[in-house]
Amino acid sequence: MRDTFLVFGAPLIEETEIAEVVASLRSGWLGTGPKVAQFERNFAKYLGVDHTVAVNSGTAALHLSMVALGLGPGDEVITTALTFCATVNAIIHAGATPVLVDVDPVSLNMDPAELRSKVSARTRAIVPVHFAGRPCDMDDIMSIADQHRLAVVEDCAHAIETEYHGRKAGTFGTFGCFSFYVTKNVVTGEGGMVVARSDEEARRIKVLALHGMSHDAWKRFSEEGFKHYQVVECGFKYNMMDIQAALGLHQLARVDTQWLRRQTLWARYNAAFADLPVERPADPAPATRHAYHLYTLRVDPNRAGIERDAFLEAMTARRIGVGVHYLSVPEHPYYQHTYGWKPTDYPHAMRIGRETVSLPLSAKLTDADADDVVAAVRDVLGRPRL
């Protein structure tokens, strides 16, 4: 048994980002400033795009994108039944009505055939979520969007490194939205990024992210001298701080080495669980790059001989942190009361949500940590150690 609890999703933080944060603190410039601008440029370079706006969460990125689409009452936005609540809440906060589609049980991404069947005269946008870092079927989704003249806002919270047919996730839609939350592949504590298609849209997002103040507002206390600002629309307080970007700059510089580490851990788990009565994640699809954000097992009690929640408890008792991504959206009472959604109307998402377990997959994991995870899973399922 481990001496310490293995925290699920603990990020790999190195001395370089610690020093950069300390430098920010010492400089006296903690808020939005040069490090945020640099982080935006570096992120744009990584994705091969021109327009990026850093914000203080992935949720803010999604919300601002919805607001920028000009959605309003009566407009419908289609997303997946298997996602974090933030995806759906962003649609609701923009004043639109969310519509869910079930997922493909292999990819765990929105099923394009289901999506097609949910498009109505009121549909304005589609929000695909590249679940666990596996790209959605963007050919089908973009062709449905083009056919019906719908906007696409990609939820890339799991998908910084993801590619589909040679193209990076977040570069297909009207907007791409990223998260740098503590468990994500690049971490700023809290943080997010919007990828826009034009300078004009990026500027609008930037203005909306800071109270609707004219776009150079953050410079108003810089050495260029005080600048008056004008409030040009009713915005939000969603700007990223330099101390967050200080972390992000160094995290982003290591994004591909950390990806390689997670790929190794993923392969190690796949080999170690091959004989177990649980379902492992599907292999990445051809001509794609998986971001390896989550490694999930499906614990079907009829096969595994243990209920999912008992499995979670047994892992915790063995000092291994685990997660659930996610109970399907219609399982939550708010949505049931407000939209009348029933889990059984989205059977794949429901079943996955009730069976799924996420194992630690952070680049911070040592080989010994990974061995502990493997030993705990095998032990809980009553199988001998390898």
Ligand X SMILES: Cc1ncc(COP(=O)(O)O)c(C=O)c1O
- Report if residue 181 touches ligand X, rule: CB under 6 A: yes
The one segment of 84-92, 108-116, 203-211, 313-321 that binds ligand X by CB under 6 A? 84-92
The candidate with the shortest Cα–Cα distance to 75, out of 18, 150, 23, 7, is: 150
Name which position in 59, 174, 244, 258 contacts ligand X (CB under 6 A).
59
Q: Considering only residues 290-319, where is the footprint of ligand X by CB under 6 A?
A: none
**Is 129 a residue that touches ligand X (CB under 6 A)?**
yes
Piece of 42-50, 154-162, 306-314, 336-344 that binds ligand X (CB under 6 A): 154-162
Pick the catalytic residue from 35, 118, 168, 184.
Answer: 184
Cα 332 to the center of its chain, rounded Å? 20
Q: Closest approach of Cβ 291 to ligand X, in Å?
A: 12
DSSP structure class, residue 284: P
H-run or E-run covering 245: helix 242-253
Which is closer to ligand X, CB of 31 or CB of 323?
A: 323
**Is the CB of 238 or the CB of 266 nearer to ligand X?**
238
Q: Is residue 346 near ligand X by the rule CB under 6 A? A: no
CB 333 to ligand X: min, Å = 20
Binding test (CB under 6 A) with ligand X, winner from 11, 33, 192, 360: 192
Residue nearest to ligand X (CB): 58
Q: Is 227 considered catalytic here?
A: no
CA distance 371 to 58: 32
- Applying CB under 6 A, among 65, 80, 87, 239 the residue interacting with ligand X is 87
Question: Residue 58 or residue 170: which is nearer to ligand X going by CB?
Answer: 58
C-alpha span between 355 and 278 (Å, rounded): 10
Closest CB to ligand X among 154 and 372?
154
- The DSSP string of 153-209 is EEE-TT-SS-EETTEETTSSSSEEEEE-BTTSSS--BS-EEEEESSHHHHHHHHHHH
Dihedral sign, CA of 54, 55, 61, 65?
Answer: negative
* Binding footprint of ligand X, residue count (CB under 6 A): 14
Non-local (6+) Cβ contacts of 183 within 8 A are: 8, 9, 11, 323, 362
Between 43 and 273, name the residue whose CB sits nearer to ligand X. Answer: 43
Contact 297, 339 (CB under 8 A): no
Half-sphere exposure of 44 (CA within 13 A, CB side): 19
Q: How far is the CB of 182 from ligand X (least distance, A)?
A: 9
What sign has the CA pseudo-torsion 378, 382, 385, 386? negative
Residue from 294, 354, 306, 296 nearest 327 by CA: 354
Backbone angles phi and psi of 341, in degrees to 5: -70, 145
Q: What does the DSSP 8-state code read for residue 261?
A: H
Using the rule CB under 6 A, is 137 a contact of ligand X?
Answer: no
Candidates 88, 151, 157, 377: give the one binding ligand X (CB under 6 A).
157
Candidate list 52, 57, 162, 288; residue touching ligand X; CB under 6 A: 57
- Phi, psi at residue 274, to the nearest 5°? -60, -30
Question: Applying CB under 6 A, does 248 fall inside the site for ligand X?
Answer: no
Minimum distance from residue 326 beta carbon to ligand X (Å): 8
CB closer to ligand X, 194 vs 370? 194
76 contacts ligand X (rule: CB under 6 A): no
* Nearest to ligand X of 162, 376 (CB atom): 162
Structure tokens at 57: 């969460």
When binding is defined by CB under 6 A, the residue of 179, 185, 288, 296 that contacts ligand X is 179
E strand or H helix at 247, and its extent? helix 242-253
- Scanning 51-59, 163-171, 218-226, 332-340 for contacts with ligand X by CB under 6 A, the matching segment is 51-59
Q: Is 86 in the site for ligand X (CB under 6 A)?
A: yes
Report in angstroms how near the CB of residue 228 gets to ligand X at its nearest.
32
Q: How many CB atoms lie within 10 A of CB 102?
A: 23
Bin 231: left if φ > 0, else alpha if -120 < ψ < 50, else beta: beta
238 in contact with ligand X (CB under 6 A): no
Largest distance between two CA atoms of the chain: 69
Residues at the interface with ligand X (CB under 6 A): 57-59, 83-84, 86-87, 129, 155, 157-158, 179, 181, 192
| Residues annotated as catalytic (active site), given as ranges | 184
